[in-house]
Amino acid sequence: MQVGDGVNTPNIGDRVLTLSGVPTPSPKYPNETSSPPQRLIPKGGKNMTKLHILSGVLLMLLLAGCSTTNAEEADWEPSEVEDVNTLEGVSMKVKEGSVTSKGAIVVIKNDSGREVMYGNAYILEKKVNGEWFEVPITVEGEYGFTAIGYSIAPGSSAEKEMEWDWLYGELNKGEYRILKGINYSESESFKKRNYLSAEFTIK
């Protein structure tokens, strides 16, 4: 999000106050009266001025908050995954009530007529201004996923608990998706990597 160049606020410093007992300066020009011209403030003008100032402050705070969020994600890499959920008859969703800032449970359902296989690896992405970006990995040094393959028979489903705090840390508020690679068990299907995607929200 871009913060605007500035917020216009009313000028309240030019009100004319008349103080009794204070001598009025001599006129600068012949046609001037001895009293300075008075600025007329319409009825309710003071209240409107306060309302304008309050609105301006609230807008600045809102934009400042958006700027902070954008700054945190400014260096994030855009997603490299273009096509998701293309494996016919196979889907993935996040189990209702399972989402926390540290993990979730996904349910993979196989309604195809073929066996499918998936592993432990996954990717987390966050939606920023309508686009998907990879959540940065926070773990230092080398890391990896255990190389185990899991199969799901036709007409069956499987639940998989995902704990991502060790890899990504705790997630902030926002819209996310988890990506998992999956393919039919036949060897020829592994020529193309297929991704299942399940979206969720951290509140």
What pLDDT is stored for residue 121 in this prediction? 94
What pLDDT is stored for residue 5 in this prediction? 46
What pLDDT is stored for residue 192 in this prediction? 74
Domains plus CATH for the chain?
Answer: 1-72 (no CATH), 90-202 (2.60.40)
Phi, psi at residue 64, to the nearest 5°? Answer: -65, -40
For strand 116-118 and strand 90-94, is the pairing parallel, antiparallel, or unpaired? unpaired
What pLDDT is stored for residue 77 in this prediction? 94
Per-residue model confidence as pLDDT tens digits over 132-171:
999 999 988 888 999 999 999 999 999 999 999 999 999 9
- Output the DSSP codes for 86-134: -STTEEEEEPTT---SSEEEEEEEE-SSS-EEE-S--EEEEEETTEEEE
Of 12-21, 80-89, 97-106, least confident by mean pLDDT is 12-21
pTM here?
A: 0.64
What pLDDT is stored for residue 137 in this prediction? 93
Least Cα distance to 126 among 86, 166, 85, 179 occurs for 179
Per-residue model confidence as pLDDT tens digits over 48-87:
555 545 555 454 544 444 434 454 666 899 999 989 999 9
Asked whether the predicted pLDDT for residue 24 surpasses 70, the reply is: no
